[in-house]
Amino acid sequence: MTTPRTHYDILSRTLHWLTAIAVIAAFILGPEHFGREIRQGLDPAARLDIVVHESLGVLVMTLTLLRLLWVAVRPAKPQFDMPGWMHLASKATHGLLWLMLLAVPASALLALGSEGHPLTLLGGIRVNDMPFIANSPLAKLADWGDVHGLLGDMVLWLSGLHAIAAIGHHFVLKDGVLRSMLPRG
């Protein structure tokens, strides 16, 4: 007989918390009125908040893709005894979070590429042209800057709901859900 898992593996926990920190930092450092300032001639590389925000966005997308790959091969995750509706709510919330963690950076790339703005990253990395986006039929479907802002707000609200649920599991249900994503001990 095997002992039930009480914690996620260390790589799952590490990637989860790195993603959470990157999302929060990117939201806090998200430059307001970025598109308007770029259209007025501001070089985004001249603003550290823009460079850090865009670098964090690329980090979030990279971490999310790594997490998805790891989920496909990792050891079994912990299982918790809870009502069916909670399992369903958990799966729906997690699925939407995964989608949002990919959609927010993708919408940023669409915004930059469709408006001809460069992607500026830490270390002086700069992608000036994204013709595959600019020439794509997707480029004209929406104001991707507005979509990015809306999705950014939504991912933060959804992450907050996720955190509140985990805290509720810890203090009200006392079922180990929150502890499963924390270091052992």
Domain boundaries, the chain: 10-181
Q: List pLDDT tens digits, range 65-81.
A: 999 999 999 999 999 99
77-99 in b/e form (b: 16+ CB < 10 A) is eeebeeeeebeeebeeeeebbee
Under DSSP, is residue 182 helix (H, G, I), strand (E, B) or coil? coil
Report the chain's C-alpha Rg in angstroms: 19
In angstroms, the CA 35 to CA 73 distance is: 40
Half-sphere exposure of 81 (CA within 13 A, CB side): 2
**Which residue type is seen at 100?**
M
Q: Report the alpha-carbon distance of residue 146 to residue 173 in Å, rounded.
A: 39
Residue by residue, pLDDT tens for the chain (185 residues) are 556 788 999 999 999 999 999 999 999 988 777 777 877 888 888 899 999 999 999 999 999 999 999 999 999 999 999 999 999 999 999 999 999 999 999 999 999 999 899 999 999 999 999 999 999 999 999 999 999 999 999 999 999 999 999 999 999 999 999 999 999 87
Q: Does domain 10-181 have CATH number 2.60.40?
A: no
Task: Say what the pLDDT of residue 32 is.
Answer: 75
Which letter, b or e, does each residue of 52-72 get, where b requires 16 or more Cβ atoms within 10 Å of its Cβ? bbbbbbbbbbebbeebeeeee
Q: Give pLDDT, residue 155.
A: 96
pTM of the prediction?
A: 0.92
Residue 2 has a pLDDT of 57
> What pLDDT was estimated at residue 185?
72
pLDDT attached to residue 37: 81
Query: In whole numbers, what is the pLDDT of the chain averaged over residues?
Result: 93
Query: Using alpha carbons only, what angle is made at residue 152 by residues 147 and 156, rounded to the nearest 5 degrees?
Result: 150
